[in-house]
Every structure is written in C-alpha cells, then in structure tokens.
Structure 1
C-alpha cells in the first residue's frame, strides 16, 4: 500500500474524522476490498502522523458503522459489502458523519493509548508519581521471601480471599462503624469485579436496577451489557432523590440500587444522615438491595455517612478496593455481604476467576497491619487538597463554572458548550476529556464534564480548553 499523506492539523475537522473519512473513501472506491486487513494501530499512527488513540477512535467508529470488523488477536478487516449496515450513511460529497462521542470503553482505552504525554483530565486515577511508594515494594519483597510463598503458589488461593487480608479488612471496617466478620468478606479483582459479581448474582436480563445520575460511566455500560433495565435516579447534594426512588420501587419493583455515599463520582457529593435513614427504610419496605460503592472512601472525611453502617449489611452490600490509592495494577477489591448472600456471591466469583492473587493480597494485608496505608492516604489527601485548590482557580479563570462544590478527586464543571464535540476537538490537541454524556444512562449531550483535579494543574490545558471552547461558541 503506497504511503499516505499526513492529515491536516489546520482543518476544523478533527483528525479522527479525517482518518475515518479517508478509510471510508478507500472502501467505497474498492481500493480496500472485502477481507482486506487494515494497518495495525501502530502502523497507521506512523503513516498518518497521529497518536494511537486517534487511530483507535477511527477504527471504533468504522466498526460501529459496519464498515470493518474487529477480529480478536488478529486486527481489523474490511467487511463484505453485503454485510455492511452503516447506521448513518456517508453524506453527499463524501463527508463522513462525526464519530460517536467518547464512551466508557474509549475512556478505558485511553488509559492504555493516551493521546499525548500530557496529564489527562478525563482519567479517574492519581498521577503515577503520587503512587510511587516504597512501602509497596518492601511489602512485596517480604512476602516473596517468606517460606509460605512457595507452598501457597503451588495451589489455588482461598476462595474468599487471603485470611490475613480479610481479618485486616474486618478491623478496618470496624473502625468506621461497619461490623463485618472476616467470613462476610470476599476479595475481588478490583472494586469493579465486586460490582460485577453482585450484578451477575442478583440480576437477570430484563430486571430493573436503580443507578444514580449523573453516575459512573463504566457502571452504566456494564449494566447495559448485562441486559438489565436502568432506572436513573437524580443525584442531589444530600443523596439520591428519594421521591424518585420510591416511585420506581412502586412501579417497577427493582431488585437493586447502586449508590455512592462518599465523594460521589462525578459530583463529589456526600450523603446526609436523614437521606441515608430514609433510603435504608425504602430498601427494607420495597425489598431491594443497595450496593454501596465506596471506591473513593479512603479520601473521605472521618465523619462521612455510609449506608452500610446504618443498615448493618441487611439490605446493603459494601464494595471498596485499593487500586485507586495504591497502584492501578494492584487489582485488589472486596465486598462485605449480608450473611444470606455470601455463598451465592462466592459461587459467582469461583465461576469467573476461581480465586484472587495471593501475592498482592498478602502484601496488602501486611501494609494494613503496619499502618502504611493510613500514612500513604494522609499524604495523598494533602497532595490532592493542594492540586484541587490550584485546579479550581485555573478553571474559574478560564471561564468554567463548578456545578457542585469541589471535593475529592473530581470536579463537575460547566464549560458552556457541548462537551461531546469539545472532547473530539481536545482529543486531537492531545487531551482525553470525560464529557457529561458519559455519566447519563441515555448519553444525552450537555455542557458538563468531569475533570480530575490531580491532572489539571497545568495552565496549558486550561488555555487549550478555553481556545477550543471559544471556537465552538
């Protein structure tokens, strides 16, 4: 295939859109025939002088529109012309409709194929240099050199998770008022895995689930893939809208609700005590379980209200993990479950992962026992407080407004333009945004977006955002 000319960075058309248009033209003109393999992501990025994530976004659009198909571990291939069913045809003059907005999957892909080396405002993680802690490697070395390691490595780990870790977690939960015996705890491959185990155990296709809105983008996408019906509950500053919860409970008999009590993603809201009491009462009255996602609870104030503490794990299921504050690759999460559901959750875990990594679990238990996690969290909180202060000042200085009081890792910002369009433009400038549509079940467009305070301290980003925003007004 002859070399292609570079795409135009002076054009008002995003690079992703230009690349998709070029590929569609070649397929329409039969320059790429059915069954032909597209260049690899790396090859294509080199050919066109763009980032790998730009190529991934173009290929994702081509797959969604029916032009190509993705074959696992093989690449992308041109589909047979008879099989192509683009949902929106190429307009007259060869102009390709704009690629779809950033979605949950593309945001995850962005973690592995970032558009540039710049800090990424749409990410949900702390900067790597904040997480580079010596105590992690020290704990791993100690575990690796222990006599018990070889023996434990030659057989599956404990189905519920390492006993020492569950005992340490039980003590930690008790310190915040949640009394869960080690036998009620199940370790998982991150908090997301815990949420998935719960959903696959309690739900069947067609069941109704209440989810706070705006809410976590991955949770919406994950539940949709399970074939359940999502009932969005407006998230208010004091907690979920209880009138909506009760109306759903009366009309649809939902089996479950997913709620974030502390440092809600993306707003940063907490939960008031009156709201928490009423929500627990509704769960008992209408017989549904509330899954409390406490992923960011490590950074919460000491007085933060949690549903599971009030309910005592009767109609509540508590979920948390350590990947966010330790290292993304330390996929150690856990759940505290009602006694009558523990065995069912364990069966689902066994069917999905058998057991969880013994090495990381033992190392984490050691870190908890020695108080290293507590000291590390205190340091992270100090860094985040300073970063949040600077990021808020920069956002306000560049014409943005906060929809909710800035708290925790994330800010919920109004930029005054369609953030789906803004995200496409900013992607070509090297920044991955998290537009507001990601955080709504129906993906409706709007002018809100979520920013990571730890990744938006550089004025360069806010200048680029302001310039791009101005061009869209």
Structure 2
C-alpha cells in the first residue's frame, strides 16, 4: 500500500514497487506497464505521481518508453557470469541463423526470462494465499506417511554405506528401472529396463534429449500454447523454435508438414495427454499422422507425459503406437508425489539409449541412489498407485468447485476443464491483470507466457487445486471489471 505519511513520496514508493518486481523478475523483460491513467486509478494517486514514478524508472534504466505505445520493462543487467553465458548463447544463435522464409518461422528473441518470471514468483512467496498460477499441487495434498517409510527402508547402515560411498549405476537404480518398465507396460509403452534412464526430474530428461539430438541453430517444433519453461530452455540452448498450434485432437498437422518441407526440423516436443495449459488429449488419428510425418521427414519425437498420474491409462500416447522407434518417453514424479526428490526418467529407442546416457553422465555423473531406491519401493508396494487415486479424487472435486466459481464470475473456458489446469478466457489483457492481482497477493499465469513469442493474451492458466476459494474469484472479478471500465 502507498502511504501518504511515509518518509518517501508516493512517486518514490510506486517506483520502488515496480523496481523490485523488475529485479525479482516478477515483471519480465518486454512486459508492458499499466498506462499512466490506469495506474493512477488502480493505485488511487494522481497521474502526475505515476509520471514521476515512471520517469524515475526510466532514469534507473529499468523501463523504456515506446512512442505511442507506452512503457515496457527493459532487460535488467545480469551478473558477470550470467552475462558471459548470454553472450555465448547469443553468438551461437547468430552463427546458426540462416533466415527461413516461412511466415510461421519464429524470429530470434530472448524467451528465458519470461518463463523464469513465473518460476521466481513461485519461490518468492508472494503471499500465504493459494496461488492460481502455480504449476504444482498444494503441499498439504502431497503429505504422506509412506515417503518417510520408503526412505527408512532404503537406508539401513549397510545399504547407506554401499550407495553413499561410491557413484550409483550410470543409468539409474536397477530396481527403479525394473519397476518403471512394469509401470510403463500398463500404459502400453513397452521398454526394457535397459532402455530406461533415470534423471533429476522430467525437465532434466528433456534437457538430456535436446543436448543429445540437437545443435545450436537446429529447428525444433513445439506445441503452442505450451510450457513456458520448454520454450525458454530450448531458446537458451540456441535452438530455433517452430511453434505448432495445438488443437483439441492434437497439433496442427498442416503447419507441421510445412515446417518439415521448409526447415527440416530435428525434433518435435509434445504433451499428448492433458496438454499444458489446454488439457487437450491426442486423438489416435492425429497420432498416426504425426508418426507418418516423423518417418517421412526423419525427425524424433519427445513425448512429455508429466501429467500421466492424473490421466487414464488408455489415453493415446505416441510412444505406445510407435513402440519407441522414433519416440522418447519422458516423465517424473514431481507433480504427484515428491517435488524436491527430483526423480524423473526417460524411455528411449535402443539405438539412442547409450548416447542419451553419455549426455546424462556429462551433466550429473550419477543420480541419487537413496531417493531412487525409495521411489522404487513406493511403486512396488502400490503406495504410489493408491496415493495417485486419492489425488485424482481430490482433484476432481476441486475442479468442479473451481469451474463453478469461474463461470459464476463471468469467465469461460477455452477448452474443456480436465486434469490439473484450466485454460480460462478472461476478456482482458492478462499481462496487465496479473500485475494488479500481484498487488492483492495472487500470482497469475497470463496467457502470454505460454507462447514462444510473448504477445498480449486474454487467457490465463489456473491450477484447479489452488482456485477453490471464492475470495480469489471476487478479487479477480473486481479488478477485471475495473480494467474493462478503463
């Protein structure tokens, strides 16, 4: 709250609020600040106070004024080590650029900080309120008694000495890989333990795949809207992103075919089941045609099945239809069980397994044997399955309440509400709305974050588990209506 009696002027206070958010990456580079008139009405100050605050931000080099367009966040200078890394990435991007002619080709742009704005917000503790933009379940949902039991059973004195005083198995604990092989068979994905490699979470698995199959300047097809971190990660590696519109039954196949003809992409990254953020699931006919394109144009597919624990086993998966020939299956347990255990894995074609393992070893040398053994126990004893069933029941109830509240407060859904996330139409620019909601202690996930090139959007992604309270929706509706009036 801005206080007239404070030691600082109102303009200085307002400048400090925006400056802190920019430095904390809660306002990402390229984000537009509210107009002078809108900001004045929102903060209940005079337009001259806002002009003074924006002038101070300009003087600090934190924002820039664009003629007839408003004020935008500039890229805050990075630490020396990060600056050197940015220079290397930039150089790799320029060396690999050769200017495609297809209209849908992405221009080069700095995406990583847009994604980390949301991640940093998750860890900054905006408030003690439920956070609609979070990508994980509330921690009270994940609390169990069997995790501690699993760790205790895995660390007798003898066992602890055995796997603490030396590196673990390069591909990961064999007990866990056997358990995962059995688990995958239940999804009709048949992978021998030798085809499975454990990782430090699903994101690490995606990174290992990218570093193995791609080089800076390569083209990669990624579904859009899509996971903001994946756009950022590929951009940081110097890849050239080709956004493929995601439809209800799968990716836009005509766009994929054009990309294949013009750019010869090396990889397609897909979330077939409970796609983030739309919740769409792949249809069998679309899956068949995607695999045809992959065979015809010689590219691999990495299938991110992060949300498999929320989805029915019979859902269509590319890896099941392809038999792990051109496909690589990636998943983990952070969403359903233990976010900080960082246990993930990939199942790969036999001829790629050794190459992927080499890349893993270059980045981590090994993986945490204790937690992998504990995870294997959770799977073998049926604890993970029973826990997932309980979470699905809880999530179904939460989703019903959240959808009812969203509709009651004037929102609609751009896709059927299923899974963990809802793709919500708000009717206003959610970039602007997200900053106003932050004043009220709520972190939103605006639609612009889920596009390879950040553009204004009236959509937002909500976490059904964190949007069950009427107070959030009342605050949302009040600020949205204010924005509509202005």
- Interval containing the TM-score (normalised by the shorter chain): 0.7 to 0.9
> 1:407 is matched with which residue?
418
1:251-290 correspondence runs (5 A): 251-290=262-301
The answer to whether 1:201 aligns with 2:201 is no
Tell me, yes or no, if the aligned pair for 1:392 and 1:406 is still in contact at 8 Å. yes
Tell me, yes or no, if the aligned pair for 2:267 and 2:302 is still in contact at 8 Å. yes
Kindly provide the CA deviation profile for residues 164-194 of structure 1, in whole angstroms up to 9, marking residues without a partner as x.
Answer: 0000000111122111000000000000000
1:340-355 correspondence runs (5 A): 340-355=351-366
Name the CA distance, whole Å, in 2 between partners of 1:350 and 1:19. Answer: 45
Tell me, yes or no, if the aligned pair for 1:20 and 1:58 is still in contact at 8 Å. no
Q: Compute the TM-score of the two structures, normalised by the length of structure 1.
A: 0.83
Q: 1:411 to 1:6 in 2, by over 3 A?
A: farther
> 1:18 is matched with which residue?
15
> 1:79 is matched with which residue?
none
Name the CA distance, whole Å, in 2 between partners of 1:319 and 1:385. Answer: 25
Name the CA distance, whole Å, in 2 between partners of 1:268 and 1:227. Answer: 29
Name the CA distance, whole Å, in 1 between partners of 2:267 and 2:427. Answer: 35
The answer to whether 1:296 aligns with 2:307 is yes
1:324-339 correspondence runs (5 A): 324-339=335-350
The answer to whether 1:430 aligns with 2:441 is yes
Q: Cα distance, 1:159 vs. partner?
A: 0.7
Q: Cα distance, 1:382 vs. partner?
A: 0.3
- Alpha carbon RMSD of aligned pairs, Å? 2.7
1:148-187 correspondence runs (5 A): 148-187=159-198
> 1:454 is matched with which residue?
465
Q: Cα distance, 1:90 vs. partner?
A: 5.9
Name the CA distance, whole Å, in 1 between partners of 2:9 and 2:121. Answer: 21
Which residue of the other structure, out of 230, 234, 250, is the alignment partner of 2:245? 234
The answer to whether 1:56 aligns with 2:56 is no
Q: 1:237 to 1:60 in 2, by over 3 A?
A: closer
Name the CA distance, whole Å, in 2 between partners of 1:310 and 1:146. Answer: 45
The answer to whether 1:138 aligns with 2:149 is yes
Q: Cα distance, 1:85 vs. partner?
A: 10
Q: Compute the TM-score of the two structures, normalised by the length of structure 2.
A: 0.81
Tell me, yes or no, if the aligned pair for 1:238 and 1:271 is still in contact at 8 Å. yes
Kindly provide the CA deviation profile for residues 56-89 of structure 1, in whole angstroms up to 9, marking residues without a partner as x.
Answer: 2479769xxxxxxxxxxxxxxxxxxxxx995954
Number of residue equivalences: 416
> 2:406 is matched with which residue?
395
> 2:71 is matched with which residue?
97
Tell me, yes or no, if the aligned pair for 1:208 and 1:229 is still in contact at 8 Å. yes
Kindly provide the CA deviation profile for residues 315-346 of structure 1, in whole angstroms up to 9, marking residues without a partner as x.
Answer: 10000000111121010000001111111111
> 1:127 is matched with which residue?
138
- SS of 1:450's equivalent? strand
Tell me, yes or no, if the aligned pair for 1:20 and 1:59 is still in contact at 8 Å. no
> 1:49 is matched with which residue?
none
Which residue of the other structure, out of 409, 418, 423, is the alignment partner of 2:429? 418
> 1:311 is matched with which residue?
322
Name the CA distance, whole Å, in 2 between partners of 1:425 and 1:349. Answer: 42
- SS of 1:340's equivalent? helix
Over 6 Å off, 4+ runs:
58-62
Name the CA distance, whole Å, in 2 between partners of 1:243 and 1:276. Answer: 14
Q: Cα distance, 1:276 vs. partner?
A: 0.6
